[in-house]
A = this chain, B = another copy of it.
Amino acid sequence: MTEFMDVHHNMKGITPADLLAAHNADVAIQDDEHVKFKKAWADPVTGRAFCLSEGPSADAVRRIHERTGHPADEIHEVTVTV
């Protein structure tokens, strides 16, 4: 399993309830792709959201986010961490 950081670009005005709902929708179906969404951070002013997950591939992460209606604009395989 590898970690991924995916980025959403158009989340201006996102509220805690919005982010929680989006996260819960991902978590509800993540097992279908053997993905585990671990954490998410969002800036309502710049509209960027970052999701940290673990899974078998970027495509697996991409498919979950697409099915829940918030496709990722970028997905990075973050193999180097500190």
Contact = CB atoms under 8 A, between A and B. Distances in A.
Number of copies of chain A assembled together: 2
A1 interface: no
B74 A42 contact: no
A59 interface: no
Interface residues of A, number: 28
Interface of A: 3, 5, 14-16, 18-20, 23, 39-46, 48, 50, 52, 74, 76-82
A39 B41 CA distance: 13
A19 B81 CA distance: 7
Nearest to A45: B77
A57 to B, nearest CB: 13
Contacts of A79: 42-44
Please indicate which of the listed interface residues A15, A74, A81 has the most CB atoms of chain B within 10 Å of its own CB.
A81
